[in-house]
Amino acid sequence: MATTRDYEPNVVLSNQDYNVVGTRPLRPDGADKVTGRALYGADFAAAGLLSGSVLRSPHAHARIKSIDTSKAEALDGVRAVVTSADFPQGGEGPVVWQRDNVLASDKALYRGHAIAAVAAASPHIAEEAVSLIDVDYEVLTPVTDVQSSMKGDAPILHDSLMTDELGEKADKASNVASHFQHVKGDVKAGFKEADVVIEREFTTKTVHQGYIEPQAATALWNNDGRLHIWCSTQGSFAARDACAKILDIPVSQIRVVPLEIGGGFGGKIDVYLEPVAALLSKKTGTPVKLVMSRADVLQGTGPTPGSYAKIKIGAKKDGTITAAHAYLAMEAGAYPGSPVGAGAMCVLAPYDLENALVDGYDVVVNKPKTAAYRAPGAPNAAFAGEQVIDEVAKAIGMDPIDFRMKNAAKEGTRQVHGPTFPRVGYEEVLEAMKSHPHYNAPLDGPNQGRGVAVGFWFNIGFDSACNIAVNADGTVTLQEGSTDIGGTRASIAMQAAEVLTLPYEKVHPTVVDTDTIGFTAVTGGSRTTFATGWAAYEAAQDVRTKMIDRAAQIWEVDADTVELEDAVFKSKSDPELSMTFAELAGQLGRSGGGITGTAAVSPSGVGGAFAGNIVDVEVDPETGKTEILRFTVVQDAGKAIHPSYVEGQMQGGAVQGIGWALNEEYYMSDSGTMDNVSLLDYRMPTSLDLPMIDTVIVEVANPGHPYGVRGVGEAPIIPPTPAIANAIENAIGTRLFALPMNPAAVAKAVMDK
């Protein structure tokens, strides 16, 4: 270690105390997980369960001329074979893309694209049957990177896809699905005012979320017409609705039961296996389970895009940014819909800019359809934007944090894409970075460097529901529809406990299926602790009101005179009248019946989150290997309901960002095949590659939430790649413009210097 510690590694800069909110209780799902009892997607079992297997395209781009399943169907033990022809046909645009992504129809658009599937008596028979399916392919030339795909002579993926060019539809097929712009002020004039203008180009590679649990789904299309699906998903309602669309049946015909989830990071929002298992179950009349291998996961599920960016920033000598232009092009994968829109909203968000222009391009390529991955689009954009910010700060001789502070976005700043910031905690994050002992500690030796960078994620609200029921022993059960990928059962239960003045242990949360709770949007967009937490808050208020009414009824006093404090109901007027929460709970049956509370919310007061990193690295200039010596994450959480899980998000995001920065990439062969389809060669960081990630939680309350919560899950993955790039530049004196900054790339940069 290069530096010594003279501070507490995990710090919470808190501004308001509560009873339960802000404490660190144990998670309700902990015991089952550490004892191996928790049921994940692949653990589900049912009587008469069949095993499925999926045939995947060996080609990155091919026309499917015919599929002959007769030999597979004839194999002993095979119960059904399905292809895309078994789906309801028709429709156009997104529904067709979604359906074709699940089982290819006319074209295979990436290596690993699902073509057909088999249900059989055992996994071995299913695998063998898949190898007996004959597909006649006309192999086409693939295009697997965004810059090649945008060229006029690139192989075209979709004959019907015409560019949406600033709202106008082009008349010629293209791989560019859309080009949009956000404009503020006059960038041309702004650059003229600048003393320093720096423009740089950047590229990033396709990377995967790398959740440890591969996708798994079991479907039973019952004889009564109802379809039951047990799966590992970030959104049971999202999975239900996607299956309803693809299968063309009403949403009420489907029940999705979410099982425990072994990581998602955005990658378990889209459906892959669920509709296929449903088709196989419809044909066989029995439950069918499909489970992916790691190679299936890497080749057949959505990674996050490779991208190209060009960033131009101008500033005056006094540090004022006069203009900024960000050009972002991102790979959508096989079908339109890259996260370039989100990247465009975030790339310049930390800066209060007079003049700015953002161009975004959504481009299809012969790789798996991209899916959400933790602040989708923003890390790609920040890798580019935050390096140019660093370079401009250096060029005008300003400290990089001071430079950011001078141009910091704050309450009232209008963002380039339109919205004005409500109260945000960016300046407080910068102050915490600047005054942190890490930022002021000396580096210790040659080939070491320090870098900083920041990132913004807007977060989302959307629909959530919650039910709470009071038990006779004074505990409450809490049902919610948000699948738990980050400790949200705890953080949601804590908000209900706070309202009811109960200890956390008295609230028993359960994630339930789509038949049991009101519509709840995906666990994504850093929304769950914010929005489902709000639903729990409202449901708990409902219970609280009803309990107070009941106490008043029993005491024959006015409800206005009854208050609930520290789990005791009291009359404000008569000190003799007092009853614990448990005592009242025990009397509910005799005094008018049980009490339940419920809420369905769609909160709009979303609070965006800013995060910043300080990183120290040491580079071996001969081998190009970068060691992360020290890493500090500072983030505005609004209010950390459960600080340990907020810190977990900050550390986890940082670790994934370190993976992007140093080694992770889809290594593509010329034929469009990903070569490194295992976690041996798709190199995510191991614990031995990381220092302890230190955290500082800044709490600038979000005025749009009862406890001030901002989402925290996504922002922490944004600053690591540029912070590490800036640190490497500081260490070796030359800058890297492409991800990953792996040893070969760093060694080459040193040699080319």
Partner 1 sequence: MKWIDYATPHSVREAVDVLSEAGGRARVMAGGTDLLVALRAGVYDIDLVVDGKNIPELNEITYDPTNGLTLGAAVPCYKIYGNQAVATAYPGLIDAASLIGGTQIQGRASLGGNLCNATPSADSIPPMIALNGTANIAGPNGNRQVAIEDFCTGVRQNALGSDEILVSLHLPAPVANSGANYIRFIPRNEMDIAVAGAGVSVVLDNGDIKEARVSLASVAPTPLFVQEAGDAIAGKPANDETVRIASGIARDAARPITDMRGTIEFRQHLCEVLTRRALNTAIERAKENN
Q: Which stretch binds partner 1 (CB under 8 A): 181-189, 244-252, 601-609, 675-683?
A: 675-683
Tokens 């991208």 belong to which residue? Answer: 307
Residue number, 162 or 745, with CB nearest to partner 1: 745
Selected binder of partner 1 within 226, 394, 423, 683 (CB under 8 A): 683
Residue number, 431 or 689, with CB nearest to partner 1: 689
What tokens appear for 552 in the block?
A: 């008043």
Q: Is 558 in the site for partner 1 (CB under 8 A)?
A: no
Q: Which stretch binds partner 1 (CB under 8 A): 44-52, 185-193, 508-516, 745-753?
A: 745-753
Q: Is 193 in the site for partner 1 (CB under 8 A)?
A: no
Selected binder of partner 1 within 7, 681, 703, 734 (CB under 8 A): 681
What would you measure as the largest C-alpha separation in the chain, in angstroms?
A: 86
User: Is the CB of residue 338 less than 8 Å from the CB of residue 363?
Assistant: yes
- Site residues for partner 1, window 608-637 (CB under 8 A)? 622-625
Intra-chain end-to-end CA distance of the chain, in Å:
28
Residues 127-156 vs partner 1: string with x where CB under 8 A? x-----------------------------
Residue number, 170 or 751, with CB nearest to partner 1: 751
Pairing type for strands 507-511 and 476-480 reads parallel
Selected binder of partner 1 within 689, 691, 735, 738 (CB under 8 A): 689
What tokens appear for 67 in the block?
A: 């599929």
Pairs from 580-587 (Cβ < 8 Å, separation ≥ 24): 580/474, 581/474, 581/500, 581/501, 581/502, 581/547, 582/473, 582/474, 583/474, 584/547, 584/550, 584/551, 584/554, 585/470, 585/471, 585/472, 585/473, 585/474, 585/475, 586/472, 586/473, 586/474, 587/554
Q: Is 667 in the site for partner 1 (CB under 8 A)?
A: yes
User: Is the CB of residue 481 less than 8 Å from the CB of residue 515?
Assistant: no
Selected binder of partner 1 within 343, 524, 685, 716 (CB under 8 A): 685
Residue number, 207 or 388, with CB nearest to partner 1: 207
Residue number, 207 or 697, with CB nearest to partner 1: 207
Q: Is 77 in the site for partner 1 (CB under 8 A)?
A: no
Q: Is 252 in the site for partner 1 (CB under 8 A)?
A: no
Least distance to partner 1, CB of residue 663, Å: 5
Residues 636-665 vs partner 1: string with x where CB under 8 A? --------------------------xx--
Residue number, 34 or 688, with CB nearest to partner 1: 688
Q: What is the Cα Rg of the chain in Å?
A: 27
3-state secondary structure 672-730: CCECCCCCCCCCCCCHHHCCCEEEEEECCCCCCCCCCCCCCCCHHHCCHHHHHHHHHHH
Number of shown-chain residues binding partner 1 (CB under 8 A):
24
Residue number, 624 or 716, with CB nearest to partner 1: 624
Q: Is 559 in the site for partner 1 (CB under 8 A)?
A: no
Closest to 148 (Cα-Cα) out of 358, 376, 363: 363
Least distance to partner 1, CB of residue 623, Å: 6
Q: Is 580 in the site for partner 1 (CB under 8 A)?
A: no
Residue number, 127 or 428, with CB nearest to partner 1: 127
Least distance to partner 1, CB of residue 42, Å: 17
Residue number, 39 or 212, with CB nearest to partner 1: 212
Sequential DSSP letters for 613-682: EEEEEEE-TTT--EEEEEEEEEEE-SS-SSHHHHHHHHHHHHHHHHHHHHT----B-TTS-BS--STTTS
Q: Which residue type, as a one-letter code, is found at position 436?
A: H
- Helix axes of 94-102 and 236-247: crossing angle, nearest 10 degrees: 100
Least distance to partner 1, CB of residue 538, Å: 47
The region that residue 72 occupies, defined by phi over 0 for left and psi between -120 and 50 for alpha, beta otherwise, is alpha
Least distance to partner 1, CB of residue 688, Å: 4
Per DSSP, 415 falls in state: P
Tokens 């001329």 belong to which residue? Answer: 65
Which residues bind to partner 1, rule: CB under 8 A? 124, 127, 622-625, 662-663, 667, 675-676, 680-681, 683, 685-686, 688-689, 742-744, 747-748, 751
